[in-house]
Amino acid sequence: MIFKQIRSVNASARLHSKLYSSTTHFGYRTVAQEEKEKLVRGVFSNVAENYDYMNDAMSAGIHRLWKDHFVSKIDPGRRPGGNELSFLDIAGGTGDIAYRILEHAAKEHGDFESKMIISDINPEMLGEGVKRFENTKYHSKSRQGERVSFKVQNAEVLDEIPDNSQDLYTVSFGIRNFTDIPKALSTAHRVLKPGGVFACLEFSKVTNPLLAQVYSTYSFNVIPLLGQVLVGDHDSYQYLVESIDRFPDQETFAQMIRDAGFATNGAGYENLTFGVAAIHTGVKPIV
Amino acid sequence: MIRASPRFFTVRTVQASLRSYATAHTSKSEVDLPRQILERGLQLLPEHGWDLAPATRSLGLSDQAASIFPNGKFDLLQFYLQKQTAKLASVQLKSSTPDGCVRELVHARLLANAELGPYLGEAVSMLMSPKYLPYSLEQLHNLVDEIWFLAGDKGHDATWYTRRGSLAMIYAASESFMTRDNSPNFKHTLSFCDRQLNAWSRFEAAEESVSEWFKFNAIAAFNVAKSLTR
């Protein structure tokens, strides 16, 4: 048993050093680890205001369907006879996943008690979320609003989130921007309760080679152009496309989730739209 | 006592060992947690039905854990059906004919539903729902295939399909009948099932004679035609 553990730790360390030695990548550029956080912050500060508008433009609105499916798949909400839950939405800046989770819990489970923490490393992105929530029933002066809190946090550390405290950890189109993904995964493992679920929605690899060709042509040529035309920012969108391409494929990422200590059901992921995006889930076993 | 390992069962063990390879060797967790949840769900089935939350709760897990099962309740139902099908291999058969064995096995499988009590109806309605129909049919096929195999049927002619198709229909009809059966030990269900099985073997015999008759007459007509044209 010990050997097995050592082997899996070694494997994850190898993967880790391969992907993230003292340098890391920022899109296709290789940069020092400390620098990536700053660069990513720059990108998202640039795009914060137009983030959801651009998502609509780039994906023809499909990102909304993905997000709806993501939330209905994880089916958040207090169960009959159970306790209220704690939700943690990481890289949740603009708050659209958090809002969907709260609405789903209310509509499907009559849950008006569970708590939501929205966390993002980027204060500008988080500011967008605060602004958006002010226009909903979860605004800061309402009773419902008390259930929601916003925290500027680095997902690799989450120093304000205690161990074993959360029931659900969601991260949607965020994890590929993290400097050290294995570290973020083990932090997710730390903050979740036993039985708590890690759920990630992220761009992934198109499996059909023909469609992959079409998709890569589209993403490398059209998306930076859209960024240029619609919001006057070519470079940030160039980064987005490159970072999508660099992100590990479905199987590799599922394995990284298992290496962080999560159990997966079967393969542990579901492809959306031919694998343009994928939903990965893992559950924290009893420790 | 141990029968030559049934096909279905072998396939299942191979799958199970593949899965345990995927989780146990590559993850820090030694137990297959999803399977553990499903096993506990089966233990709690007579009390709590198909809901997974009681299972996760009794294992000391967050209620949210159930969400790793994409079809929720139906995943527990599928797991239950697989287990029940696998259990048929241990039924002690008394009959000497394949038909008698089929009858015994179908009865055994139907009576296993007794423990579900009020939750059988929910199971049947889940199985019938269009969303799950492809999975339901697969489970049903596995069941009747296993029954024919255990009954010692080695036929591989065109009746392979009709035998499985007919038995599947008879089983599904009997199971639906069972949801409304209040008779002691499901007497009515078993006699309903027997009537269907008898009617089917009568039909099969009749069909055979009819096709024999047609074949004979076709050949005769051909010969007459041949003699006329000479």
pLDDT in tens, A223-272: 888 888 887 788 888 888 888 888 999 999 999 999 999 999 988 999 99
CA dihedral A165, A170, A175, A179 (to 10 degrees): -20
Residue A25: inside a domain, yes or no? Answer: no
* Strands (E) located in chain A: 23-26, 29-32, 86-90, 115-120, 148-152, 166-172, 192-203, 269-272, 277-283
* Tokens at B63, concatenated: 């209620």
Residue B95: inside a domain, yes or no? Answer: yes
Residue B112: inside a domain, yes or no? Answer: yes
Radius of gyration of chain B (CA): 23
- CA–CA–CA angle B69, B73, B75 (5° rounding): 50
Q: Residue A55 above 50 pLDDT?
A: yes
Residue B3: inside a domain, yes or no? Answer: no
Q: How many domains does chain A have?
A: 1
What ipTM was predicted for this assembly?
0.77
Residue B134: inside a domain, yes or no? Answer: yes
**Chain B residues 164-203 with CB within 8 Å of chain A:** none
Residue A20: inside a domain, yes or no? Answer: no
pLDDT tens, residue by residue, A166-184: 999 999 988 988 889 999 9
> For the stretch B60-86, what's the b/e string if a residue is b when 16 or more beta carbons lie within 10 angstroms of its beta carbon?
ebbbbbbbbbeebbbbbbbbbbbeebb
Of A92, A55, A90, A23, give the one whose Cα is nearest residue A240. Answer: A55
* Element of type H or E holding A216: helix A209-231
The torsion angles phi and psi of B56, rounded to 5 degrees, stand at -65, -40
Residue that the structure tokens 């992907």 belong to: A19
Contacts of B67 in chain A (CB under 8 A): 73-76, 168, 197, 199, 281
* Tokens at B136, concatenated: 């339901």
Task: Give me the mean pLDDT over the B138-156 stretch.
Answer: 88
Q: Residue B40 above 60 pLDDT?
A: yes
pLDDT on residue A107: 94
Strands A148-152 and A115-120: parallel
Rounded CA-CA distance B227/B230 in Å is: 5
**Chain B residues 16-45 with CB within 8 Å of chain A:** 19, 23-34
Residue A31: inside a domain, yes or no? Answer: no
Ligand-binding site membership of A45 (annotated): no
pLDDT on residue B161: 81
Residue B29: inside a domain, yes or no? Answer: no
Q: Residue B164 above 70 pLDDT?
A: yes
Averaged pLDDT score across all residues of chain A = 85
pLDDT on residue A21: 52
pLDDT on residue A220: 87
Of B9, B119, B118, give the one whose Cα is nearest residue B74. Answer: B119
Residue B175: inside a domain, yes or no? Answer: yes
- Residue B140: C-alpha distances to residues B53, B85, B109, B122 (Å): 27, 9, 12, 17
Rounded CA-CA distance A128/B19 in Å is: 43
B82 contacts B138 by C-beta, under 8 angstroms: no
pLDDT on residue A69: 94
Overall residue count recorded for chain A in this entry: 287
Question: For residue A94, what pLDDT band results from cuts at 50, 70 and 90?
Answer: confident
Q: What is the number of alpha carbons within 13 Å of residue A126 lying toward its C-beta? A: 18
Q: Residue B8 above 50 pLDDT?
A: no
Rounded CA-CA distance A72/B67 in Å is: 10
Rounded CA-CA distance A79/A102 in Å is: 14
Task: Give me the mean pLDDT over the A103-111 stretch.
Answer: 93
Count of other CB atoms within 10 angstroms of residue A215: 18
Higher pLDDT, A8 or A142: A142
A283 contacts A196 by C-beta, under 8 angstroms: yes
Task: Report the residue from B30, B53, B59 with minimal CB separation from A82.
Answer: B53
Higher pLDDT, B154 or A270: A270
Of A221, A202, A170, A171, give the one whose Cα is nearest residue A273. Answer: A202
Q: How many domains does chain B have?
A: 1
| Largest pairwise CA distance in chain B | 89
Contacts of B33 in chain A (CB under 8 A): 263, 283, 285
Q: Residue B22 above 50 pLDDT?
A: no
- Residue A222's domain spans which residues? 37-283
Q: What is the number of alpha carbons within 13 Å of residue B34 lying toward its C-beta? A: 26
Residue B60: inside a domain, yes or no? Answer: no
Rounded CA-CA distance A94/A134 in Å is: 12
Task: Give me the mean pLDDT over the B100-128 stretch.
Answer: 90
Residue A23: inside a domain, yes or no? Answer: no
Q: Residue A9 above 50 pLDDT?
A: no
> For the stretch B197-221, what's the b/e string if a residue is b when 16 or more beta carbons lie within 10 angstroms of its beta carbon?
beebeeeeeeeeeeeeeeeeeeeee
Residue B198: inside a domain, yes or no? Answer: yes
Contacts of B60 in chain A (CB under 8 A): 194-195, 286
Contact A285 B56 (CB under 8 A): no
Contacts of A75 in chain B (CB under 8 A): 66-67, 72
Which residues, in sequence order, are bridge partners of residue A202?
A278
Min Cα–Cα distance to chain A from B112, Å: 27
pLDDT on residue A141: 81
Which of A14-28, A231-245, B54-68, B145-159 reaches the highest mean pLDDT?
A: B54-68
Strands A269-272 and A115-120: unpaired
* Tokens at B91, concatenated: 């039924």
Contacts of B19 in chain A (CB under 8 A): 266
pLDDT on residue A135: 87
Q: Exposed, middle or buried, A25 (CB in 10 Å: 0-12/13-18/19+)?
A: middle
The CATH number given to whatever domain includes residue A228 is 3.40.50.150
Contact A75 B59 (CB under 8 A): no
pLDDT on residue B180: 87
Of A27, A223, A200, A2, give the one whose Cα is nearest residue A97. Answer: A200
Terminal Cα-to-Cα distance of chain B (whole angstroms): 64
- Residue B99's domain spans which residues? 87-213
Which residues, in sequence order, are bridge partners of residue A277?
A203, A272
**Chain A residues 39-98 with CB within 8 Å of chain B:** 73-76, 78-83, 85
Count of other CB atoms within 10 angstroms of residue A90: 28
Task: Report the residue from A83, A258, A265 with minimal CB separation from B26.
Answer: A258
Of B52, B77, B76, give the one whose Cα is nearest residue B64. Answer: B52
Contact A195 B67 (CB under 8 A): no
Q: Residue B29 above 50 pLDDT?
A: no
Higher pLDDT, B53 or A46: B53
pLDDT on residue A13: 46
Task: Give me the mean pLDDT over the B137-159 stretch.
Answer: 86
Residue A182: inside a domain, yes or no? Answer: yes
Task: Give me the mean pLDDT over the A150-170 stretch.
Answer: 93
- For chain B, helix (H) and strand (E) counts, in that order, are 9, 0
